[in-house]
Amino acid sequence: MEKENLLEMSVADFIAATAAKTPTPGGGSVAGVVGALGTALGQMALNFTRGKKKYAEHEEFYERLGKRLEIAAKMFQDLVADDVAAYRLYQEAAKQEDSPQKQAAVQLATAAAIDVPREVTKLSLAVLADLKALQPRSNPYLITDLLAAGLLAVAAAKLSDYNVRINVPNVDDNRAAADIKKASADDLAKAQAILEELEQAAKEFLP
């Protein structure tokens, strides 16, 4: 499935494509879409807040944040395509006949299959930090949208951690594999901690 097709599908078509008996779009692609949706909710909360007289003192912050979230949304979409490309690379490597060249190709494909979800997680952390910074400067009526944005960012990180953990056993260097797995788990814990902070700060607005 080509990048343009995935990004230009209707929601209904993307759901159908995900349900189909095809390897892509799969969990990695969904993680990118979920991250993009979470970022979009953050953008919505920002857009409904900026320009209001009550929050005029934060306009410079909103300007910077708006650009950051716009870039993040685009990066998440690019990572959807990168996930598909990484899977194709692995497919091609697996088809080769046993040889040192095949082993090298599999290691390269494994690195790609790990790097993409790691990038999704890092981007999710950046978005979560931005949501945390926005929360005290946003309209409290948008608190549930910010919480949903945070939850989706954490979901993207969680999906990515699954993909890292399923691929690290294929890494030849055991120490490197352990380091990758730990870094992924640590980042996921950071993401979940930020979401908990968002939820704690929102308690006064939720009955």
The fold for domain 26-205 equals Four Helix Bundle (Hemerythrin (Met), subunit A) (1.20.120)
What pLDDT does residue 4 have? 46
What pLDDT does residue 95 have? 83
What pLDDT does residue 129 have? 98
As to burial, measured by CB atoms within 10 angstroms (0-12 exposed, 13-18 middle, 19+ buried), residue 206 is exposed
Helix and strand counts by DSSP (H, E) for the chain: 7, 0
Q: What angle do CA 115, 74, 135 make, to 5 degrees?
A: 100
Query: Of 33, 39, 31, 41, which is closest to residue 156 (Cα–Cα)?
Result: 31
Would you give per-residue pLDDT tens digits along the chain (207 residues)?
Answer: 444 478 788 899 989 999 999 888 899 999 999 999 999 999 999 999 999 999 999 999 999 999 999 999 999 999 999 999 998 888 888 888 888 888 888 899 899 999 999 999 999 999 999 999 999 999 889 999 999 999 999 999 999 999 999 999 999 999 999 999 999 999 999 999 999 999 999 998 887
Q: Would you kindly state where each structural domain of the chain is located, as residue ranges?
A: 26-205
Residue 189 has a CB neighbour count (10 Å cut-off) of 11
Q: What angle do CA 109, 114, 115 make, to 5 degrees?
A: 95
Q: Are 88 and 47 in contact (CB under 8 A)?
A: no
Q: From CA 102, how far away is CA 174, in angstroms rounded?
A: 19
pLDDT digits 0-9 by tens, 37-63? 999 999 999 999 999 999 999 999 999
What the block records as the tokens of 40 is 């979009």
Residue 146 has a CB neighbour count (10 Å cut-off) of 25
